[in-house]
Structure 1
């Protein structure tokens, strides 16, 4: 994967606890935020530009980004678009000394947690960071669950995937048998294998898994 300006997106790395990334071209802001974040018990990672941030390995732990809108290379709003694709589990808190209403509306509509005008209250930022990290934890959990389901789905045989697609679309065993040109007994056997391999506790459970994986009928 490649980010704008030719910056390669590094492979994700697993780090310890929550990390708060900061991208701001003002050294005084970076230093003060580094101290504030560290004092709150989180791990700060500080960068002076968007490209410098993008060159840093991703983290598999909860994280968020405190991002200045005006940067010397890629703007904060443009970086937000990259993160929405490449690091969707990382919520963004915008900070700026030159904000306006259209800018803040654009940022919030794109999913920003908060849009703060400098100077801002430290407690307001701390609360926003905690909210962002909570969101990141939830997103990472959802991604892990999808990876697990995908691995289970990949273990199915081609025929089992066909049966699953028809079953989750609401077809009865005899209807699946007709669609695939096989016996109903064979359908029941494949269906049992699908339930076992997908670790589905019930048909509604399997239907939910199919919806999560966007499994559609091949009919």
Structure 2
């Protein structure tokens, strides 16, 4: 039977061979796919853009530390949840990791089930991010299919203008606006004004609407 985690990978980055092997065995024992790296640079070089999953990374490593590697993730277009682990953790280090976006900071030695639970939570966050990115991508594709005039009508309507007010703003007649609005609604695949507003917000066209 196929696991829902088959498409996701847990990327373990730790300079300690025993820790890497131990984490790999633990995570694979609960059906997770694992790839291990001895340092962050090896991970960056081996990472397949578009991969999904999460990162379990040691804070203290020779060369590029976990904290500094975390800062560089965006440079490599890596947007995965990060779980930081450390045998020498301190409050400042934990705060830095969490402020930079780590989902949690775990001190060694840790309970196996605690780590597994955090990894599952991180994978769930990754799935949610993927769905959101996919949704936004589809919305953008639909918006790009609109004509210039349909985009103008969309932006005016979601800002609260009536069909007549939009027509006056654009210097065209109301029937023409109604036609553009019908075409635009069909292309955007929305069934109500509320859905149209949500689409406009997702596209960054408006921050709020004055009236329905």
Structure 1 gaps of 5+ residues are 1-14
Residue 92 (structure 1) shift: 0.8
**TM-score, normalised on structure 2?**
0.89
Mapped to 1, the partners of 2:72 and 2:139 lie a distance apart of 26
Residue 54 of structure 2 aligns to a residue whose secondary structure is strand
Residue 83 (structure 1) shift: 2.9
Residue 64 of structure 1 aligns to a residue whose secondary structure is strand
Question: Within 5 Å, which residues of 2 pair with 1:1-219?
Answer: 16-55=6-45, 56-61=47-52, 63-83=53-73, 86-88=77-79, 90-216=80-206
Mapped to 2, the partners of 1:32 and 1:164 lie a distance apart of 55
Number of matched pairs: 201
Contact 1:17 1:42 (C-alpha < 8 Å) held by counterparts: no
Mapped to 1, the partners of 2:28 and 2:193 lie a distance apart of 48
Mapped to 1, the partners of 2:72 and 2:192 lie a distance apart of 39
Once the two structures are overlaid, the 10-residue window that deviates more, 50-59 or 76-85, is 76-85
Q: CA RMSD in A?
A: 1.8
Residue 43 (structure 1) shift: 0.4
Deviations 1:66-107 (A, max 9, x none): 01112233321222233357233x111100112110110121
Residue 214 (structure 1) shift: 0.5
Mapped to 2, the partners of 1:132 and 1:84 lie a distance apart of 18
Structure 2 gaps of 5+ residues are 208-212
| Distance change (3 Å), C-alpha of 1:105 and 1:164 | same
Match of 2:210 in 1: none
Once the two structures are overlaid, the 10-residue window that deviates more, 149-158 or 169-178, is 169-178
Residue 163 (structure 1) shift: 1.0
Mapped to 1, the partners of 2:58 and 2:161 lie a distance apart of 52
Residue 94 of structure 1 aligns to a residue whose secondary structure is strand
Mapped to 1, the partners of 2:174 and 2:26 lie a distance apart of 65
